[in-house]
């Protein structure tokens, strides 16, 4: 007997969580993930795995949630769906390295089902993606990260990467900061339903493959920069940029808002926030500096890869 879509996806994210945590521990060489299993008041629960104070990772979380229950009207409005209850399973991770020379990275992969008042599934979709947030612009890093994503997308359909890359640039956008992006992007996809062009199984396979290649896009950047020296000035700038990361997560991130509105576990939802952060008043980098160079790219997203780009 074959597994249902939801049960199969739950198995996938559990295995992916284990692999990512094992590989991050190996790279860090010092700290280990702690495991925190929790239950949600409205139904379901999850497993949060967090590492901190490591050789490389100042704070990282790789969380799984499998939750269900009543769908509040505000959440239904946010999701743009009609229904009275829901099921959601996903893996969400954020990695905050100690060194400002190593980028922060975020990723999540999720599956939703919505049910009517009779408990019959009325909607189902996949979503996810990953984005890179450097503190100093290294173009080779951005190219590698995007090329890894493009290679995965092209396996399914060559039109997906440019579409999802654009959606990522538009989504991870601090609109209240006049269009300053959180980082150099990646891909972002949501509400991917089965239709006449792509089946739900197509999106399931796409989502699972995107999770499977995540480490290929990120760990080479960690290994490239983990031994580079940095100054207190570099660290200060990292904490300024982390402030913008916090702003996005608390003001704009759909996952954060959905989790709070559906009685999710606050500690796990806010796991994404960095351990140290600054909110200096009207901070501006020096003209012509490496810090200003990063801001130029955040305000004007680039196309990082083309069809002939190779990856590390």
User: What are the CA-CA distances from residue 134 to residues 36, 43, 162 (Å)?
Assistant: 29, 37, 21
Non-local CB neighbours of 246 within 8 Å, separated by 6+ positions: 273, 274, 277
Nearest Cα residue to 104 out of 279, 225, 17: 225
The two tokens of residue 124 are 């189902």
Active-site hit among 12, 96, 106, 144:
106
Residues with Cβ within 8 Å of residue 119, at least 6 apart in sequence: 85
Distance (Å, rounded) from C-alpha 308 to C-alpha 160?
17
Q: Where are the beta strands (DSSP E) in the chain?
A: 34-39, 44-52, 57-70, 85-97, 104-115, 121-133, 173-174, 180-181, 185-192
89 closest CA partner among 114, 62, 64: 64
Active-site residue 106, yes or no?
yes
Decide if 112 contacts 87 (C-beta within 8 A): yes
Q: Which residue has the tokens 């959440």?
A: 75
Residues 6+ apart with CB under 8 A from 64: 13, 14, 17, 46, 47, 48, 89, 90, 91
Please provide residue 168's backbone torsions phi and psi, each rounded to the nearest 5 degrees: -65, -45
The catalytic site residues sit at 106
């Amino acid at each position: 007997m074959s597994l249902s879509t939801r049960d199969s996806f739950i198995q996938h994210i559990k295995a992916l969580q284990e692999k990512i945590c094992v590989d991050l521990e190996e790279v860090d060489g010092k700290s280990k993930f702690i495991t925190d299993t929790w239950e949600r008041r409205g139904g379901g629960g999850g497993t949060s795995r967090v590492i901190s104070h490591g050789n490389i990772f100042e704070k990282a979380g790789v969380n799984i949630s499998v939750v269900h229950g009543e769908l509040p009207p505000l959440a239904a409005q946010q999701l743009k769906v009609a229904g009275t209850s829901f099921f959601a399973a996903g893996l969400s991770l954020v990695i905050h390295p100690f060194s400002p020379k190593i980028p922060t990275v975020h990723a999540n992969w999720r599956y939703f089902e919505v049910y009517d008042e009779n408990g019959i599934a009325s909607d189902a979709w996949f979503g996810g993606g990953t984005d890179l947030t450097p503190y100093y612009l290294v173009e080779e890093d951005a190219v590698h990260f995007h090329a890894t994503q493009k290679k995965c997308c092209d396996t399914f359909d060559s039109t997906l990467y440019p579409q999802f890359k654009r959606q990522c640039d538009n989504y991870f956008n601090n609109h209240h900061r006049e269009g300053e992006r959180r980082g150099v992007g990646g891909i972002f996809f949501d509400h991917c339903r089965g239709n006449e062009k792509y089946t739900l199984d197509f999106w399931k396979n796409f989502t699972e493959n995107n999770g499977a290649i995540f480490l290929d896009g990120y760990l080479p950047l960690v290994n490239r920069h983990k031994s580079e020296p940095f100054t207190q000035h570099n660290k200060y700038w990292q904490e300024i940029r982390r402030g913008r990361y916090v702003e996005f997560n608390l003001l704009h991130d759909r996952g954060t808002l959905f989790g709070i509105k559906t009685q999710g576990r606050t500690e796990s939802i806010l796991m994404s926030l960095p351990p140290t952060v600054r909110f200096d008043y009207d901070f501006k980098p020096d003209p012509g500096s490496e810090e200003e160079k990063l801001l130029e790219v955040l305000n004007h997203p680039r196309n990082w890869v083309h069809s002939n780009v190779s990856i590390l």
